[in-house]
Amino acid sequence: MAGQYRQTMSVRPPNLLKPKSPVETGASVLDGEIMAEMASSLGRAGRALEAALTKLESLSADPDRPEDVQQREAVLQDAATKAWALIIQYELCGLSSQKNLVQRYRIPTEIVARLGMAKR
């Protein structure tokens, strides 16, 4: 093996596994704040929808009493508005499966129909 040399190959770990620098940049801090705010606003929208759906479930409209029907209609519209707000916030966070939201929050068919969504 005279005259031949041996080549060695060095392997670097991926950047993902590299230890984080103790000094954070302004951009990384801002990114963290944005992510935290997105999660927080998504949680607020979800809790608002849950409260509206709970209120809707507690109402039973008597068709013979117009005031009951009007009250239920107002609560139903409020729940639909809050469901719409949650869907918008969900999509702004980069999530897209509305089916998951309908299942997770058990959004009633009448609200799904108001939003123009196909319940699959």
pLDDT at residue 34, rounded to an integer: 87
The values of phi and psi at residue 80, to 5°, are -65, -40
- Taking the C-alpha atoms of residue 52 and residue 47, their distance in angstroms, rounded to an integer, is 9
Predicted pLDDT of residue 22:
64
98-105 helix and 66-92 helix, angle to the nearest 10 degrees: 130
Mean pLDDT for back-to-back runs of 10 residues, the chain (120 residues): 58 63 74 88 95 90 74 93 94 86 93 80
**Domain spans, the chain:** 36-57+64-120
Full-model pTM? 0.70
Taking Cα atoms as reference points, which of 102, 94, 96 lies closest to residue 118?
102
So what's the pLDDT on residue 15?
65
Predicted local confidence at residue 6, as pLDDT: 62
| pLDDT on residue 10 | 59
pLDDT given for residue 18 in this prediction: 62
pLDDT for res 63: 66
Specify the 3-state DSSP secondary structure of 51.
helix
